[in-house]
Amino acid sequence: MGRAAGLLITMDEPWLLLVTGLALGLLVAALAGLMLACRRLSRNLLEQGVEQSKHVERLNQDLAACQQGIIRMGEDLTALRDQFKRLEDKQQRMDQHDPLSMPYNQAARLVGLGASIEDLTQSCGLSKAEAELVVKLHSAKKP
């Protein structure tokens, strides 16, 4: 027991109190440093969250503007499609009422069916030069 008692260190020794006090002081300083670092990180995260929220809001505004632009373009496209259809119908009506264009329209259809220059001169009453021109014009449209 005498030997075991010698191994036990009592708190009466001043160096032990000093070491314990220093260790506690270092722990308290480390905890204070960690608390400050946590507060700083928390503040930084909060600021980043605010910035991200602002950025998301700007992106939402940009997206809304793009959507409005797309809607307007769709409406314009529909209006143009309607106007094109009206013009196409008007052109067809004009072609049907124009007696001078009838042989050329018929010749164009016949070329599409594979008619030759001679077929065009006989069935449409075109001259050979006119028939050649119609064949060249309407054969060029084929891929």
* pLDDT tens-place string over residues 3-31: 444 445 555 678 888 888 999 999 999 99
Indicate the pLDDT class of residue 59, thresholds 50, 70 and 90. Answer: very high
Domain-wise residue ranges, the chain: 42-97, 99-143
State the average pLDDT over residues 99-125: 82
Mutual orientation of helices 128-139 and 102-112 as an angle, nearest 10°?
A: 50
Q: What is the pLDDT of residue 99?
A: 57
DSSP secondary structure string for all residues of 93-130: HHHHH-TTTHHHHHHHHHHHTT--HHHHHHHH---HHH
Q: What is the pLDDT of residue 1?
A: 44
User: Within 13 Å and on the Cβ side, how many CA atoms surround 4?
Assistant: 1
Mean pLDDT of the chain: 85
Cβ partners under 8 Å of residue 101, min gap 6: 95
Whether residue 111 contacts residue 139, with contact meaning beta carbons closer than 8 Å, is answered with yes
Q: What is the pTM of this model?
A: 0.43
- Strands in 1-135 per DSSP E: none
- Round to whole Å and give the CA distance between 139 and 125: 19
Indicate the pLDDT class of residue 140, thresholds 50, 70 and 90. Answer: low
Q: What is the pLDDT of residue 115?
A: 87
| Residue 33 DSSP SS3 | helix
